[in-house]
Amino acid sequence: MSSHNPPVVRKLTMAEALREALREEMRRDERVILLGEDIGVEGGFGGAFTVTLGLEREFGHHRVIDTPISEAAIAGLAAGAAMGGLRPVADVQYGDFLFLAMDQLVNQAAKMRYMSGGKLTVPMVFRAPVGATTRGAQHAQSPEGFFLHVPGLKVACPATPYDAKGLLKTAIRDPNPVLFFEHKLLYGSKGSRKEAGGWELVADVPEEEYLIPFGEAKVVRPGSRLTVVATLLMVHKSMQAAAILSESGIDIEVIDLRTLVPLDEEAIFASVRKTGRLVIVEEDNLTGGWGAEVAARVADACIDYLDGPIRRVAAPDTPVPFAPVMENFYVPSVERIVGAVKALLGAGGSVG
């Protein structure tokens, strides 16, 4: 019988799991610093969504650094600190604000390793909350697809507290810049600021050390009739759709990509070769999203295995509306996922 004690496992929210990852990495490596707006204010929330709550008390304001309200400055500071030997983890209060820092992220951080022939590295993480939460067009976008197009950046999209902790620890240790997207409705509200409409998501998270490698998707529900690929909140909606479909005898496979760069092509291809059908679900608007890239790669590698067209479930090509009833119409729903699956399994795979 083993003398080792069983691992300690707790139920944590996404925000708690992310905070634990930051705390562990800051204790492990004194080069890890945090940058952002209101992340260390005494008596504050700990950033917009409580992730850094209390960390300034343990590590001090020289490592949990409140910045001016300037995303360009935050990104420039993070890139410079990373090239100077630190490992900054910066955040913006809303992912939409990344567009204010595009030069620093796209022209500087992403390119420096290549331009220096590998002599410079930029080990920085940029955390960005995404997703529609009744805040209107400038605080609700899902801009992951923009950064999929930038060579030199890695892109992570955790859907669960377990994955959030493991992926963030991996991101902090990576020598390359990482865009780390977190859905605002998945943070959870246990002992923290409550997000209206948020999912009460908690999961088992071990206390012991673990990392999740980038580029390894996870089959969260095995199935044989059709493959659904999703990230972030859409993983959970796809799982709800799968439960509904199973009541009709339709057994679908759901894959959580976990990272978009690197992309686990082989996991997607293996599933599609098994099921013969693919539905891609993303919250971003349809045209030019990451789903289009996945569809193109599957068409290139698996065309002989497909028994119908590749179907994408995404938002319309409009800004995110503010009115709650319109936002509910805009964001892909469980019903739309169910409808897309049934249509694809029907005659000719057409979708009305």
**pLDDT per position as a tens digit, 38-69:** 999 888 889 999 999 999 999 999 999 999 99
**16, amino acid identity:** E
55: three-class secondary structure by DSSP: helix
Is 347's pLDDT higher than 60? Answer: no
Mean pLDDT of the chain: 94
Task: Annotate 14-37 with DSSP letters as a single string.
Answer: HHHHHHHHHHHHHHH-TTEEEEET
What is each CA distance from 148 to 74, 105, 117, 196, 327, in whole angstroms? 21, 13, 22, 29, 25
For the domain bounded by 11-206, which CATH number is listed?
A: 3.40.50.970
Q: Which of 66-75, 128-137, 190-199 has the lowest mean pLDDT?
A: 190-199
179 and 148 Cβ atoms separated by less than 8 Å: no
pLDDT of residue 188: 85
Please tell me the distance from the alpha carbon of residue 77 to that of residue 71, in angstroms, as a whole number.
Answer: 10
Output the CA angle 125-130-133, nearest 5 degrees.
150
User: 11-206 and 218-344: same fold?
Assistant: yes
154 and 176 Cβ atoms separated by less than 8 Å: yes
Please tell me the distance from the alpha carbon of residue 207 to that of residue 237, in angstroms, as a whole number.
Answer: 28
Is 265's pLDDT higher than 50? Answer: yes
Catalytic residues: 139
pLDDT > 90 in the chain, percent? 90
Calculate mean pLDDT across residues 261-278. Answer: 98
Confidence of residue 6 (pLDDT cuts 50, 70, 90): confident
Calculate mean pLDDT across residues 311-315. Answer: 98
For the chain, what are the domain ranges? Answer: 11-206, 218-344
Domain 218-344 CATH class label = alpha beta
H helices within 276-323, ranges in order?
290-302
Residue 204 φ/ψ, nearest 5 degrees: -70, 125
Helix (H) or strand (E) run with residue 71 in it: helix 71-83
Residue 200 neighbours by CB under 8 Å, 6+ apart:
188, 189, 190
pLDDT of residue 193: 56
